[in-house]
Structure 1
């Protein structure tokens, strides 16, 4: 399959300034020529863009519908699709990312070495910033349906920025965007109906007044969340408040880490503590160097779910990507390692991907 993909990329090269991401759909021109080749016919005049579908009937009510992220992982499916929906004037960005490619020719850095580098980096920051509540996250989460009239599953790309102040005031902004395809329409889930929206469309924007109290995962009450610790053992106990067995099971630890990073942006000392905590997990093994979906170079570490004790993560591969010099978590990816026909899952399909930015 790799050879065929390489041939297609050579037949439809992308502009050199179009970014470092590997997975892009064919252009309308290339799709037209590919269709002609497959039908063994001579290409006719090529359309300027893919026509919008106007005949899609409204689907009946679904039996069940799921929105899946790394913090709510369960059996699900995603196919690598490029879809055109009713109301879209141009072809939208690909619905699903392809799995990250580990560069086997680059040396893998042990987690213990990353932890040492992160600790040295934190010590060198004499006026190191403290962790602040809030985060900047780019995500691709699986959205799927089951039932006799279920639509094909797709992955919804979003960018989320949350910011909080010491007095409890803050804001949350969610935008439909996919940095792999700047300026292209983006697939969005509108109350169970797939549609495309313009790149950068605001999906949610809310501000909170001073004194806002949200449920704290640590204390369980309506107080401002406790600041995360900078000690590995204390951090392990802290993450266990997100998932009760995060202190003993790696898949739960990774899901708790996702929840933590959606709530907080850690400073260098907290980042070093996290790298040290991860280095103690013997079942989290170096996978190699990767280029993440935002074009950043990092080291990937893998956990493979292989038995029923992993629960819903059985049959998945979880990657966490770290900056080897600072220990910063760049991203997390979950893919399937086996087929699940009932959900149309294929081995290698991406369940979710999260990319964190400073």
Structure 2
């Protein structure tokens, strides 16, 4: 990665210490370098000879596009970019031209065929902080039980608020990562609303990939994908019925929600937990029951402290099974589940993914 960053710094037409940074149009040298970048084959970079691996090309172009957008003030949404000199019409014309260049480049990469490099690489896996002390799950369960007895402890609420990243794969197109935020709220009459927007909090204001309509395309940050109200409905079957507060009963509840009819393996337990959290925002007592259930699971080992994609710190627990690494993230103070990440541990060439690619990540919020 360090080598790629050095190549990027050398190729950047607007370096951060440049005298014209943020003040106006590119100078002649920068214009020439940008023209070269856009016209020359993408597998030839300054300071390097020979082709780069496909995923390296994709990451490099992604970094260059993001860097160029940020430095030329081409942000969209909440964060206005720097003002350009000249008349309003000139500023608008430059913005439209530059935006068209970047968008055309991005869409060319995103929508290219199977022989092209992956358009948008999956986010990097969460990283355990060096030197952090792992907390055993049984101790986390004790903390969750203590939090459940505290005055004003959170109560169970039907509905969810979750930020997710999912890897879309097919056998004829490059994989793409789709970031979405989903909010489900239930009303007293058993009707509920569902709001889904395309957004990535790691990159506020930038365009976001979506596959709504069946084809991948860019949409504005915060673009509404779904806003719907559903009529009253009720079910006493898991995961629609309220989860119990006892670990043994909760295990039976999760088993029933997965329709397996057999005891859940640890990967199946984590998947069932994710299904539960996509329907319910757990109270402190339900979180304590879940923590005790997870503490009794086989093959879920503590690895240390991790900061998730929403900037929250938690304790991480890992299970490796069937070519997938699942990382559970829990609040170190309350034992509540913060997130679940699934990462490939072996490549899947038919789908253009490699070991270490993040298949999915969910970050649950209250």
TM-score (norm 1): 0.72
Name the counterpart of 2:358.
350
Q: Which has the larger radius of gyration?
A: 2
Give the superposition deviation at 1:217: 3.9
Q: Deviations over 1:146-193 (max 9, x none)?
A: 1xxx11110100000000123202100000000000000000103221
Contact kept? 1:239, 1:246, Cα under 8 Å: no
Q: How does 1:206-221 map to 2 (within 5 A)?
A: 206-209=228-231, 212-213=232-233, 217-218=237-238
Name the counterpart of 1:97.
123
Q: How far apart, in 2, do the equivalents of 1:107 and 1:199 lie?
A: 37
1:236 to 241, 251, 266: 251
Q: Deviations over 1:96-144 (max 9, x none)?
A: 211111113100000011000111111113x434211000000011111
Does 1:328 find its partner at 2:353?
no
Give the match's secondary structure for 1:193.
coil
Q: How far apart, in 2, do the equivalents of 1:181 and 1:162 lie?
A: 24
Name the counterpart of 2:278.
262
Contact kept? 1:139, 1:354, Cα under 8 Å: yes
Q: How does 1:184-333 map to 2 (within 5 A)?
A: 184-209=206-231, 212-213=232-233, 217-218=237-238, 225-243=240-258, 244=260, 247-305=263-321, 314-333=322-341
Give the superposition deviation at 1:207: 1.0
Give the match's secondary structure for 1:242.
helix
Does 1:128 find its partner at 2:143?
no
Give the match's secondary structure for 2:289.
helix
Q: How far apart, in 2, do the equivalents of 1:245 and 1:235 lie?
A: 15
Q: How far apart, in 1, do the equivalents of 2:227 and 2:7 lie?
A: 40
Structure 1 residue runs without a partner (length 5+)? 15-27, 41-45, 63-78, 83-94, 220-224, 306-313
RMSD of aligned residue pairs (Cα, Å): 3.4
Give the superposition deviation at 1:208: 2.4
Does 1:53 find its partner at 2:104?
yes
Name the counterpart of 2:166.
141
Inter-CA distance 123–32: structure 2 relative to 1 (3 Å threshold) = farther
1:110 to 125, 133, 136: 136
Give the superposition deviation at 1:81: 4.5
Name the counterpart of 1:341.
349
More helix by share: 2
Inter-CA distance 265–37: structure 2 relative to 1 (3 Å threshold) = same
Q: Deviations over 1:192-212 (max 9, x none)?
A: 211100000111000124xx1
Name the counterpart of 1:152.
174
Give the match's secondary structure for 1:36.
coil
Give the match's secondary structure for 1:145.
coil
Give the match's secondary structure for 1:190.
coil
Q: How far apart, in 2, do the equivalents of 1:272 and 1:9 lie?
A: 47
Contact kept? 2:209, 2:219, Cα under 8 Å: yes
Contact kept? 2:113, 2:173, Cα under 8 Å: no
Give the superposition deviation at 1:247: 4.1
Q: Deviations over 1:317-337 (max 9, x none)?
A: 001100121011111000011
Q: Deviations over 1:231-267 (max 9, x none)?
A: 1111111111221268431111011001100000010
Structure 2 residue runs without a partner (length 5+)? 17-32, 39-43, 51-67, 73-97
Name the counterpart of 1:89.
none
Does 1:167 find its partner at 2:193?
no
